[in-house]
Structure 1
Amino acid sequence: MFRSEAAAVTTVIISHHEPSLPPPQPIEFKADRPFLFFIRENKSGVLHIGRAIDYERKAVEYRQITGAYEQLTAKPFNDIICAATRLLNELKSLHRIREWQRLKMMPNREKTELAYMYFIPKSHKKATPL
């Protein structure tokens, strides 16, 4: 008896409710002005439409005010790999690590890549050092 009552209630609920709205279609934008672009915020889901020049200007101002970001003029990848290799070889020669440990920790140039940003500070928080 319970199953038939539950089925009847479900049928009544479904028949009295309006059908749900169709899922929103993705926004398609055919730019006749290539300097305009969209930025969708991850947290809030807000969609910004702006000019690339304005965003670049704001980014430069932010970097100058906070001093938080530094653009690298040279790629430090080779220097980092050489320093790591030199350190591992020195540890091996001083008998601090064994050969199998050195081989396991040795960076592989084909598989290793430099991180895009080492650290992104949260500048909106007061306790964050910049």
Structure 2
Amino acid sequence: MYEPQQRHSLSVDQVFQPNIRFFVAQVDGEPAGCGGVGFYDGYAEVKRMYARPAVRRRGIAKAVLARLEEEARQAGHTLLRLETGIHQSDAVAFYERHGFRQCLAFGPYTGMSEAQIGTSLFYEKRL
């Protein structure tokens, strides 16, 4: 769906850095969804939200996002941003339902080429 240079997820090593919080939601003791939030200068960024298809529409993603927002607030951030892809229509609809509005590229994305971010959409939300 996306070329390798268009994938902006965290590596395993990055997930374990001090500025990242990562959470896994469970249903009946099984992983059902996950999400991370990174803390940067002036904003927090949602990283890698996901809910398994079998448990979608059961509030898993909403609960994960609420936790990420709370983590950002507790870290002193009032602006939450994210990057997603143009082919992620369910994710785009979810983020827009939860108060995110499209914005310009931010942070490290501003220095990337069109080949790297041409399929990206950027969103932000005031907390």
What's the TM-score bracket when you normalise by the shorter of the two chains? Answer: under 0.3
What TM-score results when the alignment is normalised by the length of structure 2?
0.22
Q: Which has the higher helix share?
A: 1
User: Larger radius of gyration, structure 1 or 2?
Assistant: 1
* Greater RCO (CA < 8 Å, at least 6 residues apart): 2
